[in-house]
Structure 1
């Protein structure tokens, strides 16, 4: 029992059995839970056996809970899943990474095999007594075969460190290795997102820990000592916080505040998360308000989509009117100067002051705040330049400069909102209401966020699906492009999965809800992309650091230009002060700083539109550096399930009759090859089979119309004594093509040969060709036999294929590939966990319905289409090209105008025009990623 057809067959048969109250199917685990009258068990078993189901009563489930110190991130979870889920007797595994606990549901008399399997991965399982708390310190004792509960280690001290340059698994591994050599340290808990490390230890002070961290280049500060948890986290939504200038102001105001432990900024989402130990957040709120910002406090657990919708994205009509009037007045003042009116005349001064007041008052306010907080940012530079121009009598230029700066800021804000909206619009795809079935059979419309899991919803043609679910009635085609990027609608029948935000095209569907609002696949995608947007890519970190050095340096140069020539060489003050003011305008790092985040965010959004979920700018940038890609065979290059490929009739037998006979007998078998033959037969009528019998290791047999037929392998035919050289040649030919040969025969003659294989996906060959054209070497790593591996590799165009590999062998293969350069690994997000974790980028394919893959993969390909992999790499190359162009352009403009300013050939208004133009150019260049078609050779619109 492993597909909906068997489920339907069982439901139909058990519906005829008295005393059955309910049925719950688990096709993946081949389990059926039946609620029934006390005396009904034997009747159920007889009914199942009557339709060929090999049913046994499963042993009662037990649970064992392990504390595993080394298990604290998704890569360890993937490793453990890959080895425990196939283990005989293990029914389910449940992880709590934060608590370092693993709960295993099993039907074993002795759990020693579970413990040994965990230890085989280099982890130490500590079995918890029922109801006990997780150990918090001490050396966990490995579990042995005995079930006697072990004492938890004694508690020590707990210290939390903030490590500013720890934000990826590489640093985590380095720290774990270094601190593992420090005596007295018992346990490490990492939070890479918040750059925190919690250390349980028995040391008198933290000096040895700080020294060890410093030895490996980590910049650590003690955030909290004594082991007490902080009171919590506060999330502020700040409308005016959307660039590094505001982040710098907030860091300066909040980082030294008593009780504030850590700050986490998401400029694209305009959110600030404050980790604190405060009883009252009023001091934090007041500090933010003193910077001219209006913080809105939200719960730390509130879903990201509501945060994204909190603020409007448009600029008010009043703002536009003020900017238009400011421009008219500023350009009017400039025109009067060209017409001969003296710059010091009252009409020009008043017009310029009005223009500055209408179009630049916000900039001046921000400049004043920056001066008070001693933050050298672009608002302060603009303020100094405008006031300096006014003081030397250049009123019209002061007005034009601040007006152009204000216009540039407004256009940049609109452009950044477009990048934000790419994900916000994705969230808006799911409707806010849904039709729900009532107990009396009536249908009413309710809000989607009130619908509980298990409810039955109806969606009509042309409507969007509100929540994830499983179809229970109806048939239709659904446009899944928002989730998987597929261009063609997907057929949906009973048992199929539907996703929130997708469009039902032609038929009415009824489906049972499997995920509530906020937990759907669409929600998880949006949440992952928003989290990725909040992370700084390597290029962005470089640019931010460069800007933090560049701006003060240019300010210092401008100051020297203003005072040194007049004081040292008797040069005119007016000329050199004016040149210095032009340099101040050029010193604004706006174009440079904004160039990276808008490009990376646009790239992440463009990938999501294509059904490629990238977990951060790091992977988006790193994709273009891959030298090789390792691919699992089953489920990646192939469909992952056997299918009937060949029917070769012998003698007078026809293809249809051979298939009918083979399927009639195989329908009673549970073997995957038999399932493939039955599926290949379709819904055509089957013959009645009597005296069915399984022949272990060989096949099956049964009587049809009084004649005995055999369906089996090469060995069975040899034992029947009916193998011939001609048949041997046919079997060898099929096996050479990596196919399983199945023979239909009587005890006297062979009637037909059938071929069954895990067929190669139609898109795999083109994907491999695309990877080669990009200069990337594809390598197949599979646990299947070498003959099959080579046959599939030949079909798809892979020259390097390794078969019969265990998980540790795949890991070794990845290590060897890494010696030649960055490596990508494509798997299913659960299996191949060690190799996926070790690779430079781990890709999970077909992740639309897989929670684990979406949460843990570096890059999740939502559709079962390997062509998405080269598409991602092309997108990575395109993002890198735009990033490079933006940075070179921004720095080039500044270098040119530095020279022009020093030689006296640049005016203030020309400098701000160039700076504004550069900023807008890099923003629009980055936004081109949102307009670009899918980066693939095939029509994948």
Structure 2
């Protein structure tokens, strides 16, 4: 995915992109039409004989649907035509009046639909417009003009309702696009502040964000402190404190004080833009069930069309049916035949699932991954940055050999503050309130630590090797070191010329919610396994804290790849969770790769199938649960669509279903599966 191709928010236009399949009747197309991601023009629609809302690309649009008042008027006129047929005298004049009423109702319902159907029929395309045009024409020819009027009126009403319902899923992109503000307050060279279009603000510019405003572009805080609501990007429900040096993302909300930030990504290349692009690309792909349904529909529609033709021709020839009766039943079958409910059932459900995930800061790159996540039986978890915070912290320290606590803390803090080694930095941060002594003759000891003088006394802050070289070890010290090492901690010793005076244990701490997230995976029937490049003792210690029974340490990238293969053989479908860089081979081998904490990083977005924008491990179990619910709804919708079709098909053959009843059944089924699929948008956890 290249964010460079993604236009800025102010330049985006929701161009229609059909998600229909060959063989779709067309009634499903309002559900999923997406903005073209690589070009400003609309993508071509499937040539189904039924385009909507003037979407360009197929050359046979019937234009926008009629308004609700116009459709209501059409229904009233159609009802008048029906009543005139039933109640008024059977004379030529009243027949002409009734036919005129029916024609008016059809005109109010939308002649564009009728004309589009005829054009599609001339090209041999069997979409729902085609079926409507054939049914209406046939009904008029056999004297069932009230039926023709009611069919078109009900169809137009159902199309409008279905269109509005399906908009909820397809407008997810528009909702994301609307989050980032169009303007930014930018610092001019003379120090003044000027408002300008966000899309014109260059990288490196300084912008100001006042309390309550949305951040216009990605950047790094240079001045000020505040709490930022990042729910729109990372899905985090709790605002995150930000200060100088912290990253902020476009479309997040500044809740506290005023912030100044230096822009790090231009419009069109922000984290929000990459989220939008990822969601669009995901929605443009097909889930396995969706591909199956589309292949089925491509065969189903022409098959039933041929069957309806046989119903119109064979019974009068072989069973002495009346021709008008046979033709009428065939027309009813044509209306019932449209598989719009079946075909719409899959894309609207998949898009709803992808949108529900995106709202929670989880980007699933396609319906295939959304549907296949339910099959996961094991998930491999990297240690550093995934289960742990990814940076060392001072977790324990104690004076040694009777040293005075405050004195050794001050010395250690002063020495550690002079070094840039990660362990020393962790000690300095942990003892930040103690530093103050001046260090002279400071010198780094490569591979061992550092040393210097304070108040005329020599001190050293170093590892076990340095203590051994200076002859300062003892059995008691060795035992204390072994105890900390079993817990996965790195121990640094403070020494003077006569002995060790303090022990400082540093460790990469487990994330606060890691244990709960692991428990959720286990509850979902997924086995968690830790794969780490750290030493086995450290890996085991972290695994115990996180509640993981299977932990493997000392692994190189190729070792992790082999471990994934072994897990796949033992458990079945296996996921891999990592940072998307060092774990790339394992992520590629896994059935589904998860990238953690990827907000603002292109590499992690590229590497994985599922991108979790914050560091919440619990999102992995949520993805599995969402996948299972999506799959269940997919098959619920397929069963509903086919079941309703089967019932009315039998009724039509038995002569118990009228044409307008067939329209009710077909469009009712479409609305039902749309509403069922949209339930995913309300999923909570």
Q: TM-score w.r.t. structure 2 length?
A: 0.91
Question: For 1:25-36, what aligned pairs fall within 5 Å after superposition?
Answer: none
Indicate how the Cα distance of structure 1 residues 496 and 829 shifts in structure 2: closer, same or farther if over 3 A, else same: same
1:831 shift after superposition:
1.4
Is residue 23–residue 297 contact of structure 2 (8 Å, CA) maintained in 1? no
1:703 shift after superposition:
1.8
Question: For 1:506-517, what aligned pairs fall within 5 Å after superposition?
Answer: 506-517=256-267
Q: Which residue of 2 aligns with 1:414?
A: 164
Which stretch has the larger CA shift, 338-347 or 498-507? 338-347
1:792 shift after superposition:
1.1
Is residue 17–residue 36 contact of structure 2 (8 Å, CA) maintained in 1? no
1:264-290 deviation digits (Å, cap 9, x = unpaired): x99522659899xxxxx9xx99x9999
1:237 shift after superposition:
8.0
1:354-378 deviation digits (Å, cap 9, x = unpaired): 1111114222112111112111112
Indicate how the Cα distance of structure 1 residues 342 and 539 shifts in structure 2: closer, same or farther if over 3 A, else same: farther
Indicate how the Cα distance of structure 1 residues 333 and 243 shifts in structure 2: closer, same or farther if over 3 A, else same: farther
In the aligned structure 1, how far is the partner of 2:64 from the partner of 2:134? 26
What SS does the aligned partner of 1:889 have? helix
Q: Which residue of 1 aligns with 2:75?
A: 327
Indicate how the Cα distance of structure 1 residues 430 and 812 shifts in structure 2: closer, same or farther if over 3 A, else same: same
Q: Which residue of 1 aligns with 2:356?
A: 606
| Correspondence 1:554 to 2:312 | no
What SS does the aligned partner of 2:171 have? helix
2:123 to 373, 376, 399: 373
In the aligned structure 2, how far is the partner of 1:798 from the partner of 1:890? 44
Indicate how the Cα distance of structure 1 residues 246 and 328 shifts in structure 2: closer, same or farther if over 3 A, else same: farther
What SS does the aligned partner of 2:196 have? strand
Is residue 242–residue 270 contact of structure 1 (8 Å, CA) maintained in 2? no
| Correspondence 1:929 to 2:680 | yes
Structure 1 unaligned spans of 5+: 1-72, 75-95, 97-234, 250-264, 276-280, 298-313, 936-941
Q: Which residue of 2 aligns with 1:687?
A: 437
What SS does the aligned partner of 1:355 have? helix
2:552 to 795, 798, 802: 802
Q: Which residue of 2 aligns with 1:447?
A: 197
2:34 to 254, 269, 292: 269
Indicate how the Cα distance of structure 1 residues 683 and 513 shifts in structure 2: closer, same or farther if over 3 A, else same: farther
Is residue 471–residue 497 contact of structure 1 (8 Å, CA) maintained in 2? yes
Is residue 316–residue 326 contact of structure 2 (8 Å, CA) maintained in 1? yes
Is residue 458–residue 509 contact of structure 1 (8 Å, CA) maintained in 2? yes
Is residue 50–residue 117 contact of structure 2 (8 Å, CA) maintained in 1? no
In the aligned structure 1, how far is the partner of 2:641 from the partner of 2:56? 34
Question: For 1:476-875, what aligned pairs fall within 5 Å after superposition?
Answer: 476-650=226-400, 652-653=402-403, 655-682=405-432, 684-819=434-569, 820-875=571-626
1:239 shift after superposition:
5.4
Is residue 574–residue 590 contact of structure 2 (8 Å, CA) maintained in 1? yes
1:522 shift after superposition:
0.5
In the aligned structure 1, how far is the partner of 2:521 from the partner of 2:382? 15
Indicate how the Cα distance of structure 1 residues 536 and 392 shifts in structure 2: closer, same or farther if over 3 A, else same: same
Question: For 1:101-250, what aligned pairs fall within 5 Å after superposition?
Answer: 243-244=20-21
Q: Which residue of 1 aligns with 2:9?
A: none
In the aligned structure 2, how far is the partner of 1:898 from the partner of 1:777? 47
Which stretch has the larger CA shift, 749-758 or 520-529? 749-758
Indicate how the Cα distance of structure 1 residues 291 and 598 shifts in structure 2: closer, same or farther if over 3 A, else same: closer
1:497 shift after superposition:
0.8
Is residue 826–residue 844 contact of structure 1 (8 Å, CA) maintained in 2? yes
In the aligned structure 2, how far is the partner of 1:239 from the partner of 1:902? 39
In the aligned structure 2, how far is the partner of 1:463 from the partner of 1:371? 54
Q: Which residue of 1 aligns with 2:663?
A: 912
Is residue 48–residue 125 contact of structure 2 (8 Å, CA) maintained in 1? no
In the aligned structure 1, how far is the partner of 2:673 from the partner of 2:51? 28
1:478-504 deviation digits (Å, cap 9, x = unpaired): 111111011111111111111110111
1:546 shift after superposition:
0.7
Is residue 23–residue 127 contact of structure 2 (8 Å, CA) maintained in 1? no
Q: TM-score w.r.t. structure 1 length?
A: 0.67
In the aligned structure 2, how far is the partner of 1:398 from the partner of 1:236? 38
CA RMSD of aligned residues (A): 3.0
Which stretch has the larger CA shift, 802-811 or 531-540? 531-540
1:360-413 deviation digits (Å, cap 9, x = unpaired): 422211211111211111211122122222222222222111111111211222
In the aligned structure 2, how far is the partner of 1:757 from the partner of 1:272? 45
Is residue 824–residue 839 contact of structure 1 (8 Å, CA) maintained in 2? yes
More strand by proportion, 1 or 2? 1
Is residue 847–residue 862 contact of structure 1 (8 Å, CA) maintained in 2? yes
In the aligned structure 1, how far is the partner of 2:565 from the partner of 2:460? 47
Q: Which residue of 1 aligns with 2:7?
A: none
Structure 2 unaligned spans of 5+: 5-11, 58-62
In the aligned structure 1, how far is the partner of 2:19 from the partner of 2:150? 25
Indicate how the Cα distance of structure 1 residues 897 and 810 shifts in structure 2: closer, same or farther if over 3 A, else same: same
Indicate how the Cα distance of structure 1 residues 561 and 786 shifts in structure 2: closer, same or farther if over 3 A, else same: same
Is residue 586–residue 894 contact of structure 1 (8 Å, CA) maintained in 2? yes
What SS does the aligned partner of 1:608 have? helix
In the aligned structure 2, how far is the partner of 1:784 from the partner of 1:906? 71
In the aligned structure 2, how far is the partner of 1:322 from the partner of 1:398? 17
1:734-765 deviation digits (Å, cap 9, x = unpaired): 11111112222323233222211111111111
| Correspondence 1:438 to 2:203 | no
More helix by proportion, 1 or 2? 2
1:684 shift after superposition:
4.8
In the aligned structure 1, how far is the partner of 2:515 from the partner of 2:613? 19
What SS does the aligned partner of 1:789 have? helix
1:472 shift after superposition:
1.1
1:654 shift after superposition:
5.2
1:844 shift after superposition:
0.8
In the aligned structure 2, how far is the partner of 1:289 from the partner of 1:329? 27
Indicate how the Cα distance of structure 1 residues 380 and 296 shifts in structure 2: closer, same or farther if over 3 A, else same: closer
Is residue 132–residue 335 contact of structure 2 (8 Å, CA) maintained in 1? yes
What SS does the aligned partner of 1:579 have? helix
What SS does the aligned partner of 1:716 have? helix
Is residue 469–residue 497 contact of structure 1 (8 Å, CA) maintained in 2? yes
Is residue 359–residue 403 contact of structure 1 (8 Å, CA) maintained in 2? yes
Q: Which residue of 2 aligns with 1:883?
A: 634
1:795 shift after superposition:
1.3
In the aligned structure 2, how far is the partner of 1:915 from the partner of 1:296? 26
1:874 shift after superposition:
1.2
Is residue 248–residue 375 contact of structure 1 (8 Å, CA) maintained in 2? no
1:520 shift after superposition:
0.7
